[in-house]
Structure 1
């Protein structure tokens, strides 16, 4: 049999195995894995790792905020960055801003995604729990194919009370939707922010001290207790430190249905970056905040053990120079007025490979599990996405494990004017990316046009996958 494309002589890496074989692709799909395959197009992958395309399960792209602004990285630009960094599918967020219903906002956001270069699924944010939202809207967006719900336990415009959170959990259980949670204690953080400002603490590093690990740990415990009460799975987003991961491990040990993710910035950056001169520290403001070097070192154990099962970017790009970005309130604004978030779609996989695989902290199979297979399982996309197997989409990354690259922002072609990893030298880089059987990136050249991406509906209920 002659295939449309054959990838020959590559070292295939899945979440469970590493082996050398050829991959035969017909149309958009992997047809077979074997030896000596024939194809109308042959790609020689000698010396390269062939891995599933990355799945980034936590991306804020072209998202509306309550103040009327829209995140500056739109679908065309953000998905370009994703592809250039080896990511072929994303899960992003539909807003739930005041004045419009949830279903209206979900459908509008799906239309915006028509400009994506990569396949995309949608989390639905929940910021209010009126009867219409709970009884009509959540069941409807479940029917329309939402990947899950997201709730916040902090931020003025987003946070839910415990009672509201329980209402969401009940509705999610009825609709078969997993609930992902941003865990920080809203009232305690507000108390510390007010104390900092009263004492004249306005610098970027005060952002970290106003949101200490204990407030993330407390909210995580509380979220898991509420999930346990309802007997419904939850996912803890962007775990920043070992003491939170330890709380999750204890809950899992007693049978709580909870999974967790972290992000590369908690594995490669520290709170010292917030101390950079002048306004530079604002580039590193995100929530939960960056932690200490000791916290960073302690996180790897929980990734290896699977307590933290996913590494997502939490891409939340605000420009450094733009009028809607970090300086929207002026460069002399106190830390509490600076938008929270950092870009990370393009750097997620290279930074994790460099800091994790090259250092021996995680294995190659761990890398694939954390960046592709586990998020595919978590959001109901597996085995269509997240693995290399007959019948799976031909979303593939040909990775040169020896290629050395100095990270600069211009590598990723997004709308955000900085990367927090500027100047970092990494070893390991994607040299070719295929999306549904077509070459999307080759040697840093972006070949896939906007509108090529498709909306992804979960192929099975997402509410009860095993812990990653």
Structure 2
């Protein structure tokens, strides 16, 4: 008779605060013991020479999200969560997006239907609020928050998503009253529309002009405005996918002032620049996302922000539009204006390996900071801690065994998403997830998927916490 369902032995365990060598005893999907020389498990893994980390939480990704422009995401909850798992992520939080005129509850029900029977790892939902009617603010959103949908995103850009300032204040006031976490996509919509019109009239429609239409100042202004509105209401706010110095300065100033302002960035702002939008032919369209990548100087600012605490979360913003095909980036032809190219790039599988290799491996951030950015802080901000995001007795056994010395060249052929390209093609990195465990089940082992679609469970989130 064995004492545990699974024992992981001899690995170096790292959490957001600790770093030690121990064995981990797992039973019933949870961590039940941390110690030395544990008794036998029904299954055993020798992690000698490996790192044992909390499973990653990708708190900003998009799977099978309905789009109003006719485009279509290539990843559903089966392929998207499979890809996430191979990259070391054991929990994802995509978005249930309300269409204008639609009930918010109907959007959530639709998203549950899209997910049903597909995820291989656990998942929660953020909400996207695009139409904050009296019904939504007075009844639907408060009820949904109490049902475990405790975070939602608002936009200051895109005609089919954006809210005006009065609406934003109404939503923020509700978030304060209900204890929810508000996320904001901050870019100045009118400035973007004005610049886009001028560019198109001048015949400047190639992918590279996407960056000119969405300059850093448009992000800076909207970030400042969103923070100001949050300050009026006195409510926490998370600014998502921050691209560089100008928006970061607004965030850092607010943090220094003592405001509860948090920030997220993504791999594209560390590993891509605006030059990637200017590749031969239409290839630059592969790198169109919003805000767009900036330049090498801004990359260094983002690295500093990851180290010094300006950023709390590192997410993928995985937006899986295919390059080819009738509903992808080339849907309107290779002569189409950048305006008609779906915004977003894939990255759910490469998020953690990229940051580990170039962050931990190059000495830019510590291993503990890596865990904070990729798992622990997301669990805290979105009400999943300590069930998720750490290695502790009583926590879910969401664990990644990491080979810190494995060298990998990223190519789309080795990835498991359903997209026909990766923006990181040919990049050489060191460090890769070897074994991925979700609630005690081995999901990935020896480069093979071990679990069937549908084993992932939906997570009701608690009230957001504050990373310390």
Q: 1:160 aligns with which of 151, 163, 187?
A: 163
2:43 aligns with: 41
TM-score (norm 1): 0.97
1:281 aligns with: 284
Q: Alpha-carbon deviation of 1:68? A: 5.6
2:346 aligns with: 343
1:77 aligns with: 79
Aligned equivalents of 2:115, 2:30: Cα separation in 1: 22
- Shift in CA distance, 452/355, structure 1 to aligned 2, threshold 3 Å: same
Aligned equivalents of 1:127, 1:42: Cα separation in 2: 48
What do residues 368-391 of structure 1 show as CA deviations (whole Å, max 9, x unaligned)? 010000101010000000000000
Aligned equivalents of 1:87, 1:128: Cα separation in 2: 32
Aligned equivalents of 2:415, 2:121: Cα separation in 1: 14
Q: Alpha-carbon deviation of 1:71? A: 2.2
| 1:293 to 2:296 alignment | yes
Q: Alpha-carbon deviation of 1:410? A: 2.6
2:330 aligns with: 327
Aligned equivalents of 1:80, 1:466: Cα separation in 2: 30
Alpha carbons 2:377, 2:467 under 8 Å: kept: no
SS at structure 2 position matched to 1:227: helix
| 1:364 to 2:367 alignment | yes
Alpha carbons 1:51, 1:399 under 8 Å: kept: yes
Q: Alpha-carbon deviation of 1:62? A: 0.7
What do residues 229-286 of structure 1 show as CA deviations (whole Å, max 9, x unaligned)? 1111110000100221121111011121111100011111111111110111000000
Alpha carbons 1:103, 1:140 under 8 Å: kept: no
Aligned equivalents of 1:69, 1:203: Cα separation in 2: 19
Which segment drifts farther, 272-281 or 170-179? 170-179
Alpha carbons 2:70, 2:327 under 8 Å: kept: no
Could you tell me which runs of 5 or more consecutive residues in structure 2 were left unpaired when the two chains were aligned.
none
Please show how residues 59-74 of structure 1 align to structure 2 within 5 Å.
Answer: 59-67=61-69, 69-74=71-76
Q: Alpha-carbon deviation of 1:467? A: 4.9
What do residues 195-233 of structure 1 show as CA deviations (whole Å, max 9, x unaligned)? 111111111111111111111011001000000111111
1:259 aligns with: 262
What do residues 390-421 of structure 1 show as CA deviations (whole Å, max 9, x unaligned)? 00000100000000011111322221111111
SS at structure 2 position matched to 1:439: strand
Alpha carbons 1:184, 1:215 under 8 Å: kept: yes
Aligned equivalents of 2:64, 2:179: Cα separation in 1: 27
1:466 aligns with: 466
Alpha carbons 1:65, 1:95 under 8 Å: kept: no
1:149 aligns with: 152
| 1:305 to 2:308 alignment | yes
SS at structure 1 position matched to 2:141: helix
Q: 2:124 aligns with which of 114, 121, 124?
A: 121
Aligned equivalents of 1:2, 1:312: Cα separation in 2: 37
Q: 2:91 aligns with which of 83, 86, 89?
A: 89
2:57 aligns with: 55
Aligned equivalents of 1:130, 1:354: Cα separation in 2: 46
- Shift in CA distance, 449/61, structure 1 to aligned 2, threshold 3 Å: same
Q: Alpha-carbon deviation of 1:141? A: 1.3
Aligned equivalents of 1:454, 1:205: Cα separation in 2: 41
Alpha carbons 1:259, 1:467 under 8 Å: kept: no
Aligned equivalents of 1:53, 1:239: Cα separation in 2: 24
Which segment drifts farther, 339-348 or 200-209? 200-209
| 1:201 to 2:201 alignment | no
Q: Alpha-carbon deviation of 1:345? A: 0.4
What do residues 119-173 of structure 1 show as CA deviations (whole Å, max 9, x unaligned)? 1111110111221111111112112211311000001211110011111111222
Aligned equivalents of 2:281, 2:159: Cα separation in 1: 27
1:2 aligns with: 3
Aligned equivalents of 1:24, 1:74: Cα separation in 2: 33
- Shift in CA distance, 247/61, structure 1 to aligned 2, threshold 3 Å: same
Alpha carbons 2:9, 2:24 under 8 Å: kept: yes
2:227 aligns with: 224
| 1:432 to 2:438 alignment | no
The alignment covers a number of residue pairs equal to 465
1:377 aligns with: 380
Aligned equivalents of 1:200, 1:234: Cα separation in 2: 38
Alpha carbons 2:186, 2:219 under 8 Å: kept: yes
Aligned equivalents of 1:147, 1:177: Cα separation in 2: 5
What do residues 411-436 of structure 1 show as CA deviations (whole Å, max 9, x unaligned)? 22221111111111110001100011
Alpha carbons 1:85, 1:346 under 8 Å: kept: yes
| 1:16 to 2:13 alignment | no
| 1:412 to 2:423 alignment | no
Aligned equivalents of 2:458, 2:467: Cα separation in 1: 25
Q: Alpha-carbon deviation of 1:70? A: 4.2
SS at structure 2 position matched to 1:427: strand
Aligned equivalents of 1:67, 1:199: Cα separation in 2: 24
